[in-house]
Chains A and B, each alone.
Chain A
Amino acid sequence: MSAKILEVKNLKKYFPLKTNLLGREKEFVKAVDGIDFHINYGEILGLVGESGCGKSTTGRTVLRLLEPTEGRIIFEGQDITHLKKNKLRSVYKHMQLVFQDPFASLNPRKKVGNAIDEVLYVHGMKDEAQRRETVRELFDMVGLRGEEDKYPHEFSGGQRQRVVIARALAVNPKLIICDEPVSALDVSIQAQIINLLVSLKNRLGLSYLFISHDLRVVKYMSDRVAVMYLGRIVEIAPADELFKNPAHPYSRALLSVVSVLGSGKNKKKIILEGEVPNPVNPPSGCRFRTRCKYATGQCSEIEPQFKCIGNGHFVSCHLY
C-alpha cells in the first residue's frame, strides 16, 4: 500500500492584493507557499492548522478549483497541474470534494436525488433506469434509504452532509478531499458522519485528505497528519507518533491546548504569545520564529529544511 495516489511538489498559491500602474501584481497573500506532501492509496492524511494557514486553499488547489501559482500536482501518476479544463473532468471522476457547509453546497431548488442524477449524467451514465438504480444504492450507502425525493431544506445538517457525501461517491472516486466535513455539525451528529466516512473508506478503499482544525477528530481519523503554519507544512508524521512526540514548537503548543475531557483545570498548557503574522510579509527564515520561545539568530536568517527524525516523522525546525 505504498503507491502514491497523490503527490504535491512545491505547491504555491498566491492571491494578488494590489496591482501597480502597469497592471502587474505587486503584493501577494502567500496563502500556500511551497508545500510538499503525498497520500498513499487507502490512506487518510490529516491536514491541521489554524484559520488562515492555507489548509483549505491547499485542498482547493489540489483539485484545480484554484489555479496553482507554482509547483506540481501529480494524481495517479499523471501530472494534472496544467491539464485543460475539459480534460479535468476525467480527473474529477476519481477525485471529489466534500465541503464544510452542507447548507451552501446543495441547490435548494433541486430534489437531492436529482442533484446526484445530474452528476451521473454529466459523467456519462446515459441510461435513466440505471441512474435511478445507482442513486438508490448511493442513498442506501449513506444511510438515507428512500429519501431521494426530498428537497435539501427537509433535511437536518447531518443528513445534508450525508447527501453531499453520496454525491461525492456517485462517480466512484478514489480520493476525497474533506474540507472540515464535520465542523458545522452538532456533537452528537459529528460522530455519525465520522463513522460513516470511516466505514465508506474501508468498504470502498478510498483515500482522504482530511482538512480540519479539530485535532481530536483528526487524530481519530488520520493515518498521518501534516501541521500547517502560515502557508507551510512545519511537521508531518504518522498520527500516533505526532501526538505522542510532537517535535515542532508550534505543534507542541497546538497539541497542548487540546482539551482532554475530564482532565480538570490543572492541565499544562503552552500558551502562545502574540498572533499569526501577516501572510503578505511572512517573517524571514523560519515563519514561526516570532512566536517561538526557542528562536535563535539562525532562525531569522535561514529557513529550516525538512528533516527526518525517524519513524517517518519529518519536521522543519533548526532544533533538529
Chain B
Amino acid sequence: MALNEEILEVKDLGVNFYIEDRVIPAVDGVSFSLSKGETLGLVGESGCGKSVTALSIIGLLQTPPARIVKGEIIFKGEDLLKKSKEEMRKIRGKDISMIFQEPMTSLNPVFTVGHQISEVIMQHQNLPKKEALSKTMDMLKLVRIPLPEKVIKQYPHQLSGGMRQRVMIAIALACSPELLIADEPTTALDVTVEAQILDLINELKNKLNSAIIMISHDLGIVSEIADKIAVMYSGRIVEYADAHSVFNEPKHPYTKGLLEAVPDINTDRRQRLKEIKGVVPFPGEIKEGCRFKTRCDCARKDCMIKEPPILQVGTNYVRCWNYA
C-alpha cells in the first residue's frame, strides 16, 4: 500500500480501575497506530489489558470502576476522549464498530435478527424502515448466511453459535465502519467455524478497506490475519512490529516464550515444551523494574530496578533491557 492514510493513533493510553480503595492499573502507557486497510493483532494473556484498550477506543468502558487517566485516542484527526457521550454514540456503530467474543450475550434475545441489524442502519443512515430492511437482507447475504429471508425473522436463540457470530459481524459492518474492533471473535467457536469466520473477516476487509484491530490470545489466529502485531503483558505493550518479524525474529523474551509454549503440528513429541515459569502477575503487582522480571529467564540486575524503555531493534520495537 503506497498511500498509508493513518486513521487511528493511540498515544500513551492509561486506564485505572478503582475497586474499593485499591487502584488497579489495567492499561499503562499503550501507544500504537493504524492505517486504512491495515490489521493490527493485539495479543496477550487474560488480564493483560487488551480488551480494556479496545473498550477505551470505542468508548464502552464502564466508568466507574474504570477511568481513563492519561493519553489520547486520535481517530481521523480528532481525540475521541474529548467527545461527549452523544457524539460517541454517533461514531459508534457507524465509523467504529466492534465484534464481541460471546455472540449470545451481545445480541438482544427478545428482538429478531432483522430488527437488530436494521436498527443500526436506521439510526446511523436515516433510512426509512423499508430501505433499511432491504439493506439488512444485503448484509445477511454478505456474511453468507443461508436462507436470509428466513433468518431475518428469527431470534438469536434459534441460530447456532457460528450463525450468531455472523449476525454480530453483519451488525458491525452494516454502516461500513472505517475501524472494526474484533475482540476474540472466534474463541467461542469450533475450529471449522472459526476458519469460516476468519475467512469472512479477511474477505470483507479487502472489500471495504476497513482497518481492523484483532484481539486474541491465540498467536496462530493472529498470524493468519494481522499485518502488524502488538504483544501486551501486564498493561503494557512489550513488543510491537510487523507480523513477519514477530513470528520469525521475536525479540522480547515473553514473545519468544509465547511462541515456543504452543505446540505446533511439527513439534517433536520427545522434546519438552518450553514453558514460561511462574504465573501472570496481578495488574499493579510489580511496582518497579520490568513487569516480566519474575518470569524471565534472562532477567538481569537492571531489570529488577528500572523499567526498560521502548527500544528499536531492527524493525521491532521492544521493551527489554537486553537490547539496550
Taking Cβ atoms with an 8 Å cutoff, the residues of A that contact B are 50-51, 156, 158-159, 186-192, 194-195, 198, 213, 215-217, 219-221, 239, 243, 253-265, 267, 269, 271-272, 274-275
Q: Is B307 an interface residue (CB 8 A)?
A: no
**CB-contact partner of A259 in B190, B217, B224, B277, under 8 A:** B224
Kindly provide the distance from the CB of B162 to the nearest chain A CB, expressed in whole angstroms.
Answer: 7
Identify which of B171-179, B266-274, B297-305 touches chain A.
B266-274
27 contacts between A and B (CB under 8 A): A51-B190, A156-B280, A158-B279, A159-B279, A187-B258, A188-B280, A192-B277, A194-B273, A195-B272, A195-B275, A215-B191, A216-B220, A216-B264, A216-B265, A217-B263, A219-B265, A220-B273, A254-B191, A254-B192, A256-B195, A259-B221, A260-B264, A261-B219, A261-B262, A263-B223, A267-B224, A272-B195
B217 touching A260 by the CB < 8 A rule?
no
Kindly provide the distance from the CB of B169 to the nearest chain A CB, expressed in whole angstroms.
Answer: 16
Q: What residues of chain A lie closer than 8 Å to B224, measured between beta carbons? A: 259, 263-265, 267
**CB-contact partner of B261 in A191, A198, A267, A274, under 8 A:** A191
B220 touching A156 by the CB < 8 A rule?
no
Task: Provide the bound-state CA to CA distance between A51 and B191, in Å.
Answer: 10
Kindly provide the distance from the CB of A154 to the nearest chain B CB, expressed in whole angstroms.
Answer: 12
B263 touching A219 by the CB < 8 A rule?
yes
A271 touching B262 by the CB < 8 A rule?
no
Q: A187-B217, A188-B45, A216-B264 known; A271 and B223 CB under 8 Å?
A: no
Q: What residues of chain A lie closer than 8 Å to B149, measured between beta carbons? A: none
* Most chain B beta carbons < 10 A, residue from A50, A186, A259: A259
Q: Is B312 an interface residue (CB 8 A)?
A: no
Q: What residues of chain A lie closer than 8 Å to B244, measured between beta carbons? A: 262, 264
B265 touching A191 by the CB < 8 A rule?
no
Q: What residues of chain A lie closer than 8 Å to B276, measured between beta carbons? A: 188, 191-192
Q: Is B259 an interface residue (CB 8 A)?
A: yes
Taking Cβ atoms with an 8 Å cutoff, the residues of B that contact A are 45-46, 146, 160, 162-163, 190-196, 199, 202, 217-221, 223-225, 243-244, 247-248, 257-259, 261-267, 269, 272-277, 279-280, 295
Task: Provide the bound-state CA to CA distance between A213 and B277, in Å.
Answer: 25
Q: What residues of chain B lie closer than 8 Å to A215, measured between beta carbons? A: 191, 265
B191 touching A213 by the CB < 8 A rule?
yes
B220 touching A188 by the CB < 8 A rule?
no
Q: What residues of chain A lie closer than 8 Å to B247, measured between beta carbons? A: 261-262
B259 touching A261 by the CB < 8 A rule?
yes
Nearest opposing residue in chain B for A198, CB measure: B272
Task: Provide the bound-state CA to CA distance between A189 and B262, in Å.
Answer: 10
Q: What residues of chain A lie closer than 8 Å to B295, measured between beta carbons? A: 188
A257 touching B217 by the CB < 8 A rule?
no
B199 touching A216 by the CB < 8 A rule?
no
Kindly provide the distance from the CB of A1 to the nearest chain B CB, expressed in whole angstroms.
Answer: 16
Q: What residues of chain A lie closer than 8 Å to B219, measured between beta carbons? A: 187, 261
A259 touching B269 by the CB < 8 A rule?
no
Task: Provide the bound-state CA to CA distance between A131 and B279, in Å.
Answer: 29
Kindly provide the distance from the CB of B284 to the nearest chain A CB, expressed in whole angstroms.
Answer: 16
Known: A50-B193, A188-B258, A264-B224. 17 other contacts (CB 8 A): A50-B190, A158-B279, A159-B279, A187-B45, A187-B262, A191-B276, A216-B262, A216-B265, A219-B263, A219-B267, A257-B192, A261-B259, A262-B247, A264-B244, A265-B202, A265-B224, A271-B196
Q: What residues of chain A lie closer than 8 Å to B202, measured between beta carbons? A: 265
Nearest opposing residue in chain B for A159, CB measure: B279
Task: Provide the bound-state CA to CA distance between A76 and B163, in Å.
Answer: 45
Task: Provide the bound-state CA to CA distance between A269 and B221, in Å.
Answer: 13
B190 touching A261 by the CB < 8 A rule?
no
Nearest opposing residue in chain A for B217, CB measure: A187
Task: Provide the bound-state CA to CA distance between A220 and B262, in Å.
Answer: 10
Task: Provide the bound-state CA to CA distance between A243 and B275, in Å.
Answer: 24
Kindly provide the distance from the CB of B262 to the nearest chain A CB, expressed in whole angstroms.
Answer: 6
Task: Provide the bound-state CA to CA distance between A257 and B277, in Å.
Answer: 30
A259 touching B223 by the CB < 8 A rule?
yes
Kindly provide the distance from the CB of B45 to the nearest chain A CB, expressed in whole angstroms.
Answer: 4
CB-based closest 3 A-B pairs: A259-B220, A262-B247, A220-B263
Kindly provide the distance from the CB of B195 to the nearest chain A CB, expressed in whole angstroms.
Answer: 4
A264 touching B191 by the CB < 8 A rule?
no
Nearest opposing residue in chain B for A264, CB measure: B223
Task: Provide the bound-state CA to CA distance between A198 and B191, in Å.
Answer: 25
A243 touching B265 by the CB < 8 A rule?
yes
